[in-house]
A and B are shown apart, each in its own frame.
Chain A
Amino acid sequence: MSIWRPDPTFYPSPRMATKAPPETLAYVVRLNPNGNGQADAMCVVDVDPQSSTYSKVVGVTEMPYTGGELHHFGWNACSSMLCPNAPHPHVERRYLVVPDIRSSHITILDIKSDPTKPAVVKVIEPDELFERTGYARPHTVHCGPDGIYISALGNPDGEGPGGIFILDHDTFEVLGRWEIDRGDQYLHYDFWWHLGYDTLITSEWGTPRMVEHGVLGEELLAGKYGHRIHLWDLHRRRHVQTLDLGAEHQMALELRPAHDPTKAYGFLNSVVSLKDLSASIWLWYRQNGSWKLQKVIEIPAEPASEDQLPDILKPFKAVPPLVTDINLTVDDRFLYVSCWGTGELRQYDVTDPFNPRLTGTLQIGGIVRRAGHPAASGPLNGGPQMVEVSRDGRRIYFTNSLYLPWDAQFYPDGIRSWMVKVDADPQGGMRFDPNFFVDFGDQRAHQIRLQGGDASSDSYCFP
């Protein structure tokens, strides 16, 4: 019957979590783009600067099936276990829950006995997921106070609606759909919550049909991709409010609510504007009992000549920033923004969330720029994409691939995949760690999770 004291990686508040010891291992999914029957894998990267294998892959666990595409993943348990309304503090953070966005498998990896050798302990077959939930293409994983929440892009036929389903904390059984009343929500992508306000937020990308064969130009120009976010009553599982960015702002993706449960605001990225190919960051916030939304950052496209651009961008003569991922530090002070198109990582001071201040920019890769790295002079391709921040906010890690069918459209010569690390100044500013460059070769690295938790893995009930 579980352990005697709370898992030491659980912190009651984000303030305490920022004092957590630095991580020594990172888990990174690696996918095989070659269609040659080799399985995707979970890689373990040594991120301890004192170690002789620093910046090297020290463990690889292949998935027990092929033909899928690993993407995002998460932990079975995290700091939300300490929430007083549903306390389960005596479980362990020891399993990685790894959904497959293409094949709809969900693999459970145990990292307890040897953290560098994740062991496959369970695979949830796609049919079980389809039958129990009606959903397919599982995406984001969050450890909730009462179960493991996973979002899904759509149904097994490739259409909508997408939604959320729940896995049992202990047995990893698929319990069923989360929503009781979904209101006008149809598209799905990411989700997270404000535990202090019993509110869940979901965002919109597209149905599996709209994303699995690359971005569909016609539907994009018609504004058919997601441009809204939805607010839900987390406890009653009902839709309460829709906020619209406007159809010109296509693809409303990553949701980064403030970690402090007393703060009712968060950040969202929209990938591309149909008006001028710019990307934008939006702030949602609560005022007088209802939720509001406003644009707080706009990043313009950069002019480029046609011959530098892939077919999909040639008519526009510009390279869009394509903000595909963002991450908020645990102290809610800095927001990191990945511009996958232009090859930039931006750091904003968001102490005043309504008025972000740009405090740092690093360039690497990019459709046109192809910028190098202190440890790999380049040219490098792909661009800053999945970004993860350590709990103390001092180290930022990111990889450069997005999603196979979309990689092929924006980087048609194929992406050579890497993972890099950035050291951040607590007062703002950042620089590449010249000793950290992981070359994944022709395999593609995607989401990163840090051992013990990171800025997008844990949620808290106490300020």
Chain B
Amino acid sequence: MDPIGGWLWLSLFGLGLFHGLNPAMGWLFAVGLGLQEGRAGAVVSAMWPITIGHAAAIAVAAFVTILLGYILPTDMLLALTGIALLLFSGWRWLSRFRHPRTRFRASPWELAWWSFLMATAHGAGMMVTPLLTVMAPAAHAMHGDHHHHAPALTDSMLEATLAVVVHTAGMLAAMAGIALVVYWLVGLEILRQAWINTDLIWVAVLAMTGAIALGLGVWNMVSGSLI
């Protein structure tokens, strides 16, 4: 695998870890249900629907990006995702934001739907889109194709699916790790100190990613037109 492609996959996994660490993405919910029922099995069984919901949110973003990739040149799409990310983070920063909610003793379906809404509302999917945008051309660069021809649809879909799986694996790894460590070892006292305002961090990351995507996209378009 070439260095750029490898770096992209690693970043996808890393963003998954980052999402999984956020208490609002589900690990805390899993711990809560485990404590309510008094068994670690409940922590684990809550994680599957949460994971599926998160994966679905990422999948929506991934497939929309892939489809747009068929209509728009890569650089323009990159710039557009940058703009979308900046607008989204601006909205999150300025407007009053209410988290989706569900019942505490949520059924697996309710948990999955809640997780999907939480990930979507926090911009988890959007955070991944710039990576997905550059991914397809990077894969083609491996084959010496510098003209960014659109790959076959099935290949793209396969790649998007793989991207969702890699990201979600990261998310699940982080969620499972922290949920079980908190459930068995650390206890919830840690929340009082360690639950920093992840919303603020996320908005900052979203804005930063947006700025980089927009900058790269515009730079590539400008420098491309010069050649």
Chain A residues in contact with chain B, CB under 8 A?
1-6, 8, 10-13, 16, 82-90, 145-146, 170-171, 195-198, 234-235, 261-262, 461-463
Contacts and interface: CB of A to CB of B under 8 A. Distances in A.
Interface stretch (B63-71, B95-103, B137-145, B163-171): B95-103
B32 A262 contact: no
A2 B32 CA distance: 24
Interface string B22-33: 011000110110
A16 B106 contact: no
B114 interface: yes
B93 interface: yes
B200 A1 contact: yes
Interface stretch (B52-60, B79-87, B187-195): B187-195
B106 A85 contact: yes
Contact of A196 (B28, B102, B104, B191): B104
B105 interface: yes
A2 B104 contact: no
Contact of B28 (A5, A84, A198): A84
Given A12-B188, A85-B106, A90 B199 contact: yes
A84 B199 contact: no
A4 B101 contact: no
B99 A88 contact: yes
Nearest to A194: B104
Given A10-B192, A196-B104, A87 B24 contact: yes
Contacts of A3: 197
A90 B197 contact: yes
B103 A84 contact: no
B35 interface: yes
Interface in B11-39: 23-24, 28-29, 31-32, 35-36, 38
A6 B191 CA distance: 8
Interface string B88-132: 000001001011011111100000001000000000000000000
Size category of the binding interface on chain B: 20 to 34
Contact of B23 (A11, A84, A170, A198): A84
B199 A1 contact: yes
Nearest to A11: B192
A2 B197 contact: yes
A13 B187 CA distance: 10
Given A85-B29, A145-B101, A146-B101, A1 B192 contact: no
Contacts, number: 90
B133 to A, nearest CB: 28
A342 B221 CA distance: 86
Q: Which of B104, B105, B196, B203 has the most CB of A within 10 A?
A: B104
Interface of B: 23-24, 28-29, 31-32, 35-36, 38, 93, 96, 98-99, 101-106, 114, 188-189, 191-193, 195-197, 199-200, 203
A12 B101 contact: no
A16 B189 contact: yes
A463 B193 contact: no
Nearest to B29: A84
A382 to B, nearest CB: 39
Contacts of A90: 197, 199
17 contacts: A1-B203, A4-B200, A5-B192, A5-B193, A16-B188, A83-B32, A85-B114, A145-B101, A170-B96, A171-B96, A195-B104, A196-B104, A262-B36, A461-B32, A461-B104, A462-B32, A462-B35
B102 A12 contact: no
A104 to B, nearest CB: 26
Given A4-B197, A8-B192, 9 more contacts: A4-B200, A5-B192, A6-B192, A12-B188, A16-B189, A196-B105, A261-B104, A262-B38, A462-B31
Nearest to A16: B189
Contacts of B99: 86-88
Contact of A235 (B28, B35, B103, B191): B103
A86 B104 CA distance: 9
A234 B28 CA distance: 21
